[in-house]
Structure 1
Amino acid sequence: MTTKIGFLSFGHWQDAPGSRTRSAADALLQSIELAQAAENLGVDGAYVRVHHFERQLASPFPLLSAIAARTDRIEIGTGVIDMRYENPLYMAEEAAATDLISGGRLQLGVSRGSPEIALNGAESFGYRPGDGQTAADLARAKTELFLAAIDGAAVATTDPQRSGVRAGLAVQPQAPGLRERIWWGSGTRGTAVWAAGRGMNLQSSTLLSEDTGEPFDRLQAEQIRAYRAAWAEHDHGHDHGRTPRVSVSRSVLPVTTDLDRRFFGTHGEGDQVGLLEGVRARFGRTYVGEPDRLAAELAADEAVREADTVLFTVPNQLGVEYNAHILETIVRHVAPAIGWSGAAVGVPQN
């Protein structure tokens, strides 16, 4: 049953007719404003996608810190940061600082990343896989170091000539509890199992690179069940001592006005299947229609039923006011059908 909902923004900007988000400044400032509007509606989370070399959000920590400073309750997070591009120790410092500013509200999604416009983009940032190492291996190795760093492990040593002793040093600052709020963005059952073994929450991707012919929601539900089984196996000795969180994201566009119909029509798209980097992959569908119909369709979505957190992607280039309208419709008419209740924060229910 869904206990939390959030929005997920890719933060596109383009100086084009019809766009309300024409510059990077627009994308950043409007993300802050939308998070404030979402918090006022009772939405639980504000998440941003991270892409490099494109007209989209790229450097999440300044933005998430700004959102934290302008809000009080809403979770702030990523879905996801491509670890191939990151310096794990510097990222650990940034993440801890952001979490402290937010009062412990950071929910940080990381992963190997998705297909991108840049050829070997991470190499332009100075990072390349070692001999015999794949890009995925590099991302996972960096993630292991990042997890150790935010967990307070010694990742450097003192200079004996200055301190008189040789001792281990952890990065600073440290943010209590942050280690339990790291998520792995997984596109396969294998990486979901890997994430469970390392005590990370699961962000199941809207792009699964192991199509079996099953509908997307069933394939995703299988991945979630494999993750939870692996978590239980690793947790038999209370290694983690907590219940993991699992999120899925959905493109849900309620149609209640003539403007909605003009933008989106009245019907969405089904699953899409194609080759991605030589692998057969399945993409999740887009839900479009009247709120009552969307509520029924999402309630029947097998992966939505398995998850405890659902992130609704937003068409951010339509502006803050329009996206707040979408979120309000979801809050009032769609989210209650999947088990979510905003009663704790006083969200009106119809």
Structure 2
Amino acid sequence: MKKIGFLSFGHWRDAAGSQTRSGADALLQTIELAEAAEELGVDGAFVRVHHFERQLASPFPLLAAIGARTSRIEIGTGVIDMRYENPLYMAEEAAAADLISGGRLQLGVSRGSPETVLLGAEVFGYRPAEGQSAADAAREKTEIFLAAIGGAKVARTDPARTGFSGGLAVQPQSPGLRRRIWWGSGTRATAQWAARAGMNLQSSTLLSEDTGVPFDQLQAEQIELYRQAWRDEGHDWEPRVSVSRSVLPITEEIDRIYFGDQAHEDQVGLLEGVRSRFGRTYAGEPDRIAEELAADAAVRAADTVLFTVPNQLGVAYNARILETITRHIAPAIGWSAVQPAGRGKP
């Protein structure tokens, strides 16, 4: 049985037509959309993290707020760029958000995507070690983070104050969180690394490799390699795999005005000197989108599908998109709604 969720980049801009004119608008409307999505039976509310841009940037206050205002929906990221993070402080924040939500955090982490900022992580004070790439730095921090949320002793007591020497873990700890961490992977090799590290897989809509096959087939191959690496590693639990899709159903004239010319096929080009493939946009009548997604090899292979939303069009508009997806599109890919929860906690 598949799960579905929405993925918001949280764009905000004081421009004509934008319903999110400020950072406050983007944050508060994300919380409201998560509440509306939960009422529709959607399984997950996920946010993208970008620094130095008019988008969502600091996820943990937002995730904690969503967790406090909802009761069932999963809350997560897709993804946090680990180059910017202090992994031990992040372990404390993640555990706190998970405890507030009652164990619903599904945290996606990775090396991050191409940025407009120059050396952004270094501006935050994090410079890779000599000879270490940005990707290496992100993976190293991820390993420290995973150990910390798993309860590893990462510090020592001060004998002068305690009278003994012993190990200390970060606090609080949230049971089960270690198995709800996802790695956002843009290649087959990093997907295999994620499997060996014992993380769930978020397959990126931007794959920084291209073998000439359609995007969904390349992504499905990545997923199979990940699952084989997982089996080879001998983990004693079953991982989850998500893919994201840009889906813009057209049911009213206003939808046609916004998205009538948005449908396109895979895009292929050079990104940072690497031939890359970007997934297509599905725009059109809901029944046709449902048929196309049902034939998508990676959608079939994944257990979770995240639908990106045009958040600047506002909560009501995006809730209508999600309602169309739940009624007319998601059932075609193997999803069935749970009993919708009431809004908020008693």
TM-score (norm 1): 0.96
| Corresponding residue to 1:314 among 288, 309, 315 | 309
For residue 269 of structure 1, the aligned residue among 258, 264, 278 is 264
Contact 1:150 1:178 in 2 (8 A): yes
Question: Which residue is equivalent to 1:172?
Answer: 171
Contact 2:244 2:308 (8 Å CA) reproduced: yes
Shift of 1:136: 0.2
- Tell me the residue number matched to 1:331: 326
TM-aligned CA deviation for residue 345 of structure 1: 4.0
Structure 1 residue aligned with 2:344: none
Match status 1:259 vs 2:258 = no
Structure 1 residue 108: deviation in Å?
0.1
SS at match of 1:288: strand
Structure 1 segment 3-18 matched on structure 2, within 5 A:
3-18=2-17
Cα deviation for residue 266 of structure 1 reads 5.7
Letter in 2 for 1:181: R
Query: 1:171-320 alignment to 2 at 5 Å?
Result: 171-235=170-234, 240-265=235-260, 268-320=263-315
Matches within 5 A, 1:107-186: 107-186=106-185
Q: Which amino acid aligns with 2:99?
A: L
Distance 1:146 1:36, change over 3 A: same
Dislocated runs of 4+, deviation >2 Å: 343-346
Work out the CA distance in 1 between the residues paired with 2:36 and 2:125: 38
Whether the 8 Å CA contact 2:263–2:281 is kept in 1: the answer is yes
The residue type equivalent to 1:286 in the other structure is T
Q: Give the partner amino acid of 2:137.
A: L
CA distance in 2, matches of 1:131, 1:318: 45
Structure-1 separation of matches of 2:194 and 2:91: 18
**Cα pair 2:38 2:340 within 8 Å, conserved:** no
8 Å contact 2:12–2:55 — kept in the other structure?
yes
The one-letter amino acid paired with 2:75 is: I
1: CA distance between counterparts of 2:154 and 2:247?
Answer: 43
**8 Å Cα contact 1:224/1:246 also seen in 2:** yes
- Separation of aligned partners in 2, 1:276 and 1:289: 29
Distance between the aligned counterparts of 1:242 and 1:30, measured in 2? 36
Structure 1 residue 201: Cα displacement: 0.1
Q: Which residue of 2 aligns with 1:45?
A: 44
Scaled by the length of structure 2, the TM-score of the pair is 0.97
Segments of 5+ residues of structure 2 without an aligned counterpart are 342-346
Over the residues paired in the alignment, what is the CA RMSD in angstroms?
A: 1.1
Aligned-partner residue type, residue 252 of structure 1: V
Partner of 1:25, secondary structure, is helix
The 1-side partners of 2:93 and 2:129 are apart by 26
Task: Report the alpha carbon displacement of residue 3 of structure 1 after superposing the two structures with TM.
Answer: 1.5
Q: Secondary structure at the match of 2:76?
A: strand
Give 1:189 deviation, angstroms: 0.5
Whether the 8 Å CA contact 1:266–1:289 is kept in 2: the answer is: no
Aligned-partner residue type, residue 305 of structure 2 = V
Give the drift of 1:242. Answer: 1.1
Alpha-carbon contact 1:255-1:266 (below 8 Å) kept: no
The amino acid across from 2:20 in the alignment is T
**Which residues in structure 2 correspond to 1:46-61 (within 5 Å)?**
46-61=45-60
What is the alpha-carbon distance in structure 1 between the residues aligned to residue 117 and residue 153 of structure 2?
A: 35
Q: Which amino acid aligns with 2:71?
A: D
Per-residue CA deviation, residues 311-333 of structure 1 (Å, 9 max, x unaligned), is 00000000000000000000000
Rounded Cα–Cα distance in structure 2 between residues aligned with 1:344 and 1:317: 29
Instruction: Report the Cα distance in structure 2 between the residues aligned to 1:165 and 1:135, rounded to whole angstroms.
Output: 39
The CA distance in 1 between the partners of 2:15 and 2:298, in whole Å, is 36
SS at match of 2:97: helix
Percent of matched pairs sharing the same residue: 78
**8 A Cα contact 2:148 2:169, kept in partner:** yes
Aligned residue for 1:251, secondary structure, equals strand
Q: Distance in 2 between matches of 1:192 and 1:54?
A: 27
Which whole-Å CA distance do the structure 2 matches of 1:286 and 1:149 have between them?
38
> Using the alignment, how far apart are the partners of 2:323 and 2:67 within structure 1?
21
Secondary structure of 1:145's match?
helix
Deviation at 1:241, TM superposition (A): 1.6
Matched residue type, 1:122: A
Aligned residues: 342
Check conservation: 2:42, 2:326, Cα contact below 8 A: yes
* Residue segments in structure 1 that go unaligned for 5+ positions in a row: none
